[in-house]
Amino acid sequence: MNEPETLNWVKSSHSNNGGTCVEWAPAKAMSTGVVPVRDSKRPNGPVLMVSASAFAGLVTLARSANL
C-alpha cells in the first residue's frame, strides 16, 4: 500500500491578519507544475489541485481585489 504524500505547506502572507487564508505547497508545484492549495484553518480538509498558470491567475486576482 502506498503511503500518502507529505507536503510542506506555506501559509499566505495574510494568514496573520485574521482573515480567510490559504496555504500552498511550493515544492510540489515546482516538481510537477500542479499547485496544491488548501484552507489554512482546515489542514485535514480537501486540497484543490490547480495548474501553475491557474494559481498565478488566482494570486493576481487576490492582489487586485479590494479585500
- pLDDT, tens digit, for every residue of 13-52? 765 556 668 899 999 999 999 999 999 888 899 999 999 9
> pLDDT: is 62 or 5 the higher one?
62
> pLDDT: is 18 or 64 the higher one?
64
Q: How far is CA 16 from CA 12, 13, 30, 32, in A?
A: 9, 7, 25, 29
Q: Are 25 and 35 in contact (CB under 8 A)?
A: yes
Buried b (16+ CB within 10 A) or exposed e, 35-52: bbbbebeeeeeebeebee
* Own/partner long-range contacts of 33-40 (Cβ < 8 Å, ≥24 apart): 36/7, 38/9, 40/9, 40/11, 40/12, 40/15
